[in-house]
Structure formats: structure tokens, C-alpha cells
């Protein structure tokens, strides 16, 4: 079997800003392009998060990775969060490492099982195949984390746009609370 020999590389993760240098590709997500992700309609086109990617060929022999920097803020009672996704190839796993700030990772299976894990600097999270995942900034400073996953995984955003997650992370009396999502499963 022949294999493609790639050049090794090193990037620097800034533990303060969460940015990667060099960044091969940067993505930004603003409130208005997050569709109906929040219960309430956002009233401004605020920057919610940025993703700083290290690109490699998207095969199952490689590992893609990036950092995400998620700003603090809320829409109604819901904290700023990522869109959330399943991997297109469902069994592909992923690892997250908390770098800065305080967060919640909401996980759910297609069968409706769900779990919330708390993210902080140094927390390491294993996301097995079959679990959709969304990150939520429950603190007052940016939430930054590093993620690495099998490079052919792909992203299925449509399933989450249609069904949502079974639970939401909202502010209740000044602290994060996990509550049922009244719209879960609605087409």
C-alpha cells in the first residue's frame, strides 16, 4: 500500500486568545446566520464565534483540528452557542480540550439520549461516534477550546437544524441551568 507522505508541521495555540498561528482557514458565525437555533429571534447581527482551522487532507488517515473562540452573550435566556452537528459519517469520534473560559458541551444521540459536560481550561472531552455536540459559553469571558477529529468525518448540520437538541442551557438566577427544549423534535 502506498501512502501520501505529508510534511510535519507545528502551530502555536495562544492560550489567551485561543487563536492558532498559522491558521489555514478561518470561519466566523454571526447571530443572523444561525437561523432558528435560539428560541427567541436575535435582534442584532453580532459575531458569536470564530473557528481557526489547521487543514490536512480529509481522509480517515488524517486528523483535522481547530480552535473555536465563542464570545460571551445571550439571546433571551440562552447563552451564545455553536450551531451543533452530528458527523456526516456517524461513527467518527472527536476530542475537545478546554483552553479558556467556562462552557457546557451538550451531547445528544439520534435516539434522544443526552448529556451535558462542563468545559474549563484543561478539561478533556471524548465525543464518541453517534453523538451530536454543541458548545455553550456559560461564562463572562470568551470560551476557547481545541478540537481534533478524524478528517473524513464531515458535518451534518441539517439534522440539528430540524430537530434541535433535547435540552437547552439557559441562565436562571444568574447561573447556568439545563432545561428541556420545548421545540425538540419539531420538524
Chain centre to alpha carbon of residue 157? 11
CA distance 84 to 5: 33
**Interface with ligand S6P: number of residues (CB under 6 A):** 13
* # of chain residues touching Zn ion (CB under 5 A): 1
**Dihedral of alpha carbons 73, 84, 107, 124, sign:** negative
Which of 71, 87, 89 lies closest to 79, judged by CA? 71
Separation of alpha carbons 23 and 137, rounded Å: 23
Instruction: List C-alpha distances in Å: 30 to 37, 44, 45, 112, 157.
Output: 12, 9, 6, 28, 16
Q: Which span sits near ligand S6P by CB under 6 A: 14-22, 77-85, 104-112, 162-170?
A: 77-85
Residues 30-59 that bind ligand S6P (CB under 6 A): 51
Residues 141-170 that bind ligand S6P (CB under 6 A): 147, 149, 155
* Residue whose grid cell is 475537545: 96
Q: Does 102 bind ligand S6P (CB under 6 A)?
A: no
The yes or no reply on residue 85 touching ligand S6P (CB under 6 A) is yes
Residue 77 or 90 having the CB closest to Zn ion: 90
61, containing H or E segment: none
When the beta carbons of 124 and 172 are compared against ligand S6P, the nearer one is: 124
| C-alpha cell of residue 101 | 473560559
* Residue 66 lies near ligand S6P (rule: CB under 6 A): yes
Of residues 91-120, those binding Zn ion (CB under 5 A): 94
Residues contributing to the site for Zn ion (CB under 5 A): 94
Residues contributing to the site for ligand S6P (CB under 6 A): 51, 66, 68, 82-85, 94, 133, 135, 147, 149, 155
Amino acid at each position: 500500500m502506498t501512502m501520501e507522505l505529508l510534511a510535519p508541521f507545528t502551530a502555536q495555540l495562544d492560550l489567551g486568545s485561543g487563536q492558532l498561528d498559522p491558521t489555514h482557514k478561518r470561519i466566523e458565525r454571526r447571530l443572523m446566520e444561525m437561523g432558528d437555533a435560539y428560541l427567541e429571534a436575535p435582534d442584532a447581527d453580532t459575531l458569536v464565534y470564530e473557528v481557526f482551522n489547521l487543514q490536512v487532507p480529509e481522509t480517515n488517515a488524517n486528523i483535522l483540528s481547530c480552535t473555536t473562540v465563542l464570545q460571551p452573550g445571550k439571546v433571551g435566556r440562552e447563552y451564545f452557542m455553536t450551531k451543533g452537528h452530528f458527523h456526516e459519517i456517524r461513527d467518527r469520534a472527536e476530542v475537545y480540550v478546554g483552553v479558556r473560559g467556562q462552557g457546557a458541551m451538550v451531547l445528544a444521540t439520534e435516539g434522544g439520549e443526552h448529556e451535558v459536560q462542563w468545559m474549563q481550561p484543561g478539561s478533556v472531552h471524548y465525543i464518541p461516534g453517534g453523538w451530536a455536540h454543541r458548545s455553550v459559553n456559560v461564562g463572562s469571558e470568551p470560551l476557547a477550546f481545541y478540537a481534533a477529529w478524524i478528517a473524513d468525518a464531515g458535518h451534518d448540520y441539517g439534522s440539528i437544524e430540524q430537530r434541535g437538541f433535547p435540552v437547552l442551557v439557559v441562565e436562571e438566577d444568574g447561573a447556568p441551568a439545563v432545561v428541556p427544549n420545548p421545540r425538540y423534535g419539531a420538524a
